[in-house]
C-alpha cells in the first residue's frame, strides 16, 4: 500500500498506472470531493463533458439551494400600523 512521504508525495502503483496508460512525465490532476481524492490524467481527457441539459439541471438545483438559504423578506400587506416614525418623536409632547 502506497504511503505519503514527508514531502507529501505518493507513488502510484504500477498496475494502476499501466491500466490507465499513465507513464513517467505525464501530468495528472487531483480533484477533491466530499470524501475522496480523484486522480485524473491530463491527457486522457477523462473529465466528463456534461450535456447542456445536465448543466442546466445542475444550475437549477444550485439556484434552488441558494434560494432556500436566502433570508425571506417580512410579509407585507395586512399588518398596517396606525402610527408613523415621526409619531414616536412627538409622543408625550403637548400639542
**Cα gap 65→62, rounded to integer Å:** 5
What is the model's pTM? 0.40
Is residue 47 within 8 Å of residue 40, measured between CB atoms?
Answer: yes
Residue scoring higher pLDDT (6 or 20): 6
Asked, for residue 38, whether it belongs to a domain, the answer is: yes
DSSP 13-80: -HHHHHHTT--TT--EEEEE-SS-EEEEETTTT-SPPPPHHHHHHHHHHHHHHHHHHSPPPPP-SS--
- Here the cell at position 20 is 490507465
Q: What per-residue confidence (pLDDT) applies to 78?
A: 58
Inform me whether the pLDDT recorded for 35 exceeds 50. yes
Average pLDDT over residues 19-38: 88
pLDDT digits (tens, 9 = 90+) for 36-92: 998 888 775 544 677 889 889 999 999 999 998 888 776 666 556 777 788 788 767
Asked, for residue 62, whether it belongs to a domain, the answer is: yes
Asked, for residue 20, whether it belongs to a domain, the answer is: yes
Asked, for residue 88, whether it belongs to a domain, the answer is: no
Q: What per-residue confidence (pLDDT) applies to 46?
A: 46
Amino acid at each position: 500500500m502506497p504511503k505519503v512521504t514527508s514531502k507529501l508525495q505518493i507513488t502510484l502503483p504500477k498496475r494502476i498506472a499501466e491500466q490507465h496508460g499513465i507513464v513517467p512525465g505525464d501530468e495528472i490532476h487531483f480533484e477533491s470531493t466530499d470524501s475522496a481524492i480523484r486522480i485524473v490524467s491530463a491527457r486522457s481527457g477523462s473529465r466528463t463533458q456534461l450535456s447542456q441539459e445536465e448543466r442546466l439541471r445542475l444550475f437549477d438545483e444550485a439556484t434552488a439551494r441558494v434560494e432556500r438559504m436566502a433570508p425571506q423578506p417580512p410579509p407585507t400587506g395586512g399588518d398596517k400600523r396606525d402610527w408613523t416614525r415621526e409619531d414616536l418623536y412627538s409622543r408625550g409632547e403637548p400639542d
